[in-house]
Homo-oligomer: A and B are copies of this chain.
Amino acid sequence: MRILVTGACGFVGRHVLDELMRAGHTPLACDAVKPAAAHPLPVEVHTVDLRDAPALKKLVAELTPDACIHLAGIAFVPMGWIDPELVFSVNLLGTINLLQAFHSAAATARMLVVTSAEVYGRVPGTHPFSEDAPLTPDNLYAVSKMAADLSALLYARRYGVHIMTARPGNHIGPGQSSHFVTSAFAQQIVNIARKKADPVLKVGNLECERDFTDVRDVAHAYRLIIEGGHTGKAYNVSSEKLVKISVILDELCRLAGVSPEIVVDPDLYRPLDARPRLDASRVRKELGWEPRIGLSETLADVLADIERQT
């Protein structure tokens, strides 16, 4: 299929392009920014800001893709409070503009709208959340993603079109911004291993647990959903395991062969916050997805990627 990937220059976008090409699809790429000169993409990138509805509609009409994987958006949760107008404009109105552009110019295309496990909120609980769990977002980023998710599913129902959503947990892997904890640790650890920094590592709350899935496994799930997912359904994408951040840190240090002093930085420290564990049995059972890359392999690849680039 000719599959338009929005946000193609982002962390997940690059992995999705790779995944689609390996499976024999023809990815088409768009993003609000051009790819950095040091990181060209394997396909031409059409520059379009999803907030510009006429430009987006024109692009969709020109390309008339068979499908779309919609990744574009502000992915950094705290940005919801820092710049709420930006987050709602991009994450929600951008998605609405995309849904409208396909509705008017490529109505038969399959579409996967990627939102976030944040839609479930942070209700502590002992059993994992299925896609039917109530949505109780607890921050503005999560509200923007919930509204985009529900809108996409309502389009599917109203117009009888083939739209699905994916609700991924945290995903990590090569190429992630150091705004995110794994890459932030890995960057510091590489600097320490190379003697470019003192053997002191600043950390936040290491007891927090997160659901870390390798971004390449996530990209694989997205391909399976766009190929065979059922219209009007949401799909959780998750390893289904919660891992303490201290485990990530210990493994990165072991892989890099360093033993830095660990210092808690009050600016990074957040209170212990419970996250729900996701139930990803729908994507596993309906589409045969399984995570294939273990945590240690992911972290080794993250370190190798940072070593290559710095």
A residues near B (Cβ < 8 Å) are: 53, 81, 84-85, 88-89, 92-93, 96-97, 99-100, 134-135, 137-140, 143-144, 146-147, 150-151, 154, 158
Contacts and interface: CB of A to CB of B under 8 A. Distances in A.
A134 B137 contact: no
Contact of A84 (B100, B143, B150): B100
Contacts of A97: 85
B138 A135 contact: no
B135 A140 contact: no
Given A85-B53, A85-B93, A85-B96, A150 B154 contact: no
A93 B91 CA distance: 12
Copy number of this protein in the oligomer? 2
Contacts of A100: 84-85
A143 B138 contact: no
A88 B93 contact: yes
A154 B134 contact: no
Contacts of A139: 154
A57 to B, nearest CB: 11
Contacts of A84: 96, 99-100, 151
A158 B81 contact: yes
Given A88-B93, A96-B84, A137 B150 contact: yes
Contacts of A138: 154
Contact of A147 (B53, B89, B143): B143
Nearest to A103: B84
Contacts of A92: 88, 92, 147
A154 B137 CA distance: 9
30 contacts: A53-B85, A81-B158, A84-B96, A84-B99, A84-B100, A84-B151, A85-B93, A85-B96, A85-B100, A88-B88, A88-B92, A88-B93, A88-B96, A88-B147, A89-B93, A92-B92, A92-B147, A93-B93, A135-B135, A137-B150, A137-B154, A140-B151, A140-B154, A143-B150, A143-B151, A143-B154, A144-B147, A146-B147, A146-B150, A147-B147
